[in-house]
Structure 1
Amino acid sequence: MKLTENQLQQLARQLSHPEGETGLEVAEMMNFTNGNLINKVIDSLQIKEGDAVLEIGPGNGAHVSSITKTPDTLYYGADISETMIHQAQKLNASQVNASFILTNGDTLPFETEFFKKAFTVNTIYFWKDPQAYAAEIARVMQPGGTLSIGFIPKSTMIKIPFAKYGFTMYEAADVEKLLKDTGFKILDTIEDTEQVLSNNVEYIDREITIVTAVLK
């Protein structure tokens, strides 16, 4: 089913800031289409018991239980969507070591050098000031802490109809430079291809990129 331009704009808006019942539906869709990438990003962090972990843009947080398996691992999800925060709190009510915080997308309400690990999946397109926000993430991370960013590269994004509405597109080299300029050292860059279900209900190949870095 081909979406109209108005529908594409609405979808792009919901992907950047899910709201209301439609936002909840979009979050479920994102869980399905982004599940493999989310799992790979989490694996790249090598989270250990006792780590304090930050996620930027957890959506409805359906994946959080895979991080909070041990009571000493602290998880904090920061999201700009009140709808997503409420849904994540609901779905993770039994996860006593998981917290979800509403943020403004510019600053993070955490102490300096608080987190050992941090990650985000498919949010970097919406950072209003990428350098400033990367610096804010660095501020709340401990020296030697690990950050992993998962995203769809520009080479694929330019083929996605809704991505022309409000998405800033990146290749691996762009994200590597952004992190290097913020005081990170690149540990690894993974460029892979996965299969996802398209709007036309058919499986298509999609490129994914994961950049993992350590704060100097």
Structure 2
Amino acid sequence: MTPIRHRLLSAIAGQLGRPHGLLGPLVARVLNRGNGKAIADAVDAAHVQPGSSAADVGFGGGIGLRLLLDRVGDNGNVHGVEIAEAMLRRARSALRHDVQSGRLRLSEGSLTGLPFPDASLDTVITLNTVYFISDLDAACAELARVLRPGGRVVVGIGDPEVMRRAPFTRFGFTLRPVTDIAAALTKTGLTVEQRRIEDKPMPRYVFVGLRP
């Protein structure tokens, strides 16, 4: 691999993990376009109810926040958690009326350090985020910790075997077997359902965890 190609692929991976700088807005649009169906499916799988409290962890371009706001309605609230300051700024601007009304609350945070009390959320979705964490068990424990009894968490990933073919995933991505993710969620006490979705060009897996 040439040094230029190495730098280019590393830069792409870095932007996908944490959009930033002048490319941040472009990456946000790419994420919304490329992940729109997967995010909509995750919201459906979460069974978000009117008046409930929902969160999108690692919301990226923000399309999931809009979908969750529609589902919880005027009497519910949505939390957006991001490590990328550029994405937080973008969401504050694009959804400022929801932020001002208190329906949307945006916070800096990560899967392994969620800014919520125990048992405070009805639903949590997180897509294409577990690639960028080193401690899967800690992340799954956090997701389970913040769920109320009867709450649901939805974790979405691309098929790891297919993703390995993308050259940029060599840089900063941890592509775990599907069984590892299901096991880590189950270990927290959640009842886990696993689904494979045959999307093109990227098949996906969705894990739905229900807290008893």
Indicate whether the TM-score tops 0.5: yes
Which whole-Å deviations, capped at 9, do the CAs of 1:127-164 have from their partners, x for residues lacking one? 22111121122111112210101111211111111011
How far off is 1:87 after superposition? Answer: 0.5
Query: Given the alignment of the two structures, is residue 174 of structure 1 paired with residue 176 of structure 2, yes or no?
Result: no
State the shift of 1:98 in Å: 1.1
Distance 2:190 2:87 in 1: 29
Task: Call closer, same or farther: CA 1:30–1:131 in 2, change over 3 Å.
Answer: same
Shift of 1:105: 4.9
- More helix per residue: 2
- The question of whether the paired residues in 1 share the 8 Å contact of 2:55 and 2:81 is answered with yes
Report how many residues are paired: 204
Please say if residues 58 and 110 of structure 2, whose CA atoms lie closer than 8 Å, have aligned partners that are also in contact. Answer: no
What residue in structure 2 maps to residue 207 of structure 1? 203
Q: Which residue of 2 aligns with 1:84?
A: 87
Deviation at 1:41, TM superposition (A): 0.6
1:81-138 alpha-carbon deviations (Å, 9 max, x no partner): 1111110111111223111101155311211110010110100111221111211221
Query: Which residue is equivalent to 2:26?
Result: 25
Alignment partner of 1:192 out of 171, 194, 197: 197
1:1-216 equivalent positions in 2, closer than 5 A:
4-69=5-70, 70-95=73-98, 96=101, 97-186=103-192, 188-195=193-200, 205-216=201-212
Give the fraction of aligned pairs with identical amino acids, expressed as a percent.
Answer: 25
Runs of 4+ in 1 over 3 A off after TM superposition: none
Partner Cα separation in structure 2 for residue 106 and residue 191 of structure 1: 25
Structure holding more strand per residue: 1
TM-score (norm. length: structure 2): 0.91
Q: Against the structure 1 CA distance between its residues 61 and 189, is the aligned structure 2 distance closer, same or farther, given a 3 Å change threshold?
A: same
Query: Normalised by the size of structure 1, how large is the TM-score?
Result: 0.89
Q: Is the 8 A contact 2:55 2:78 kept in 1?
A: yes
Q: Distance in 1 between matches of 2:104 and 2:173?
A: 29
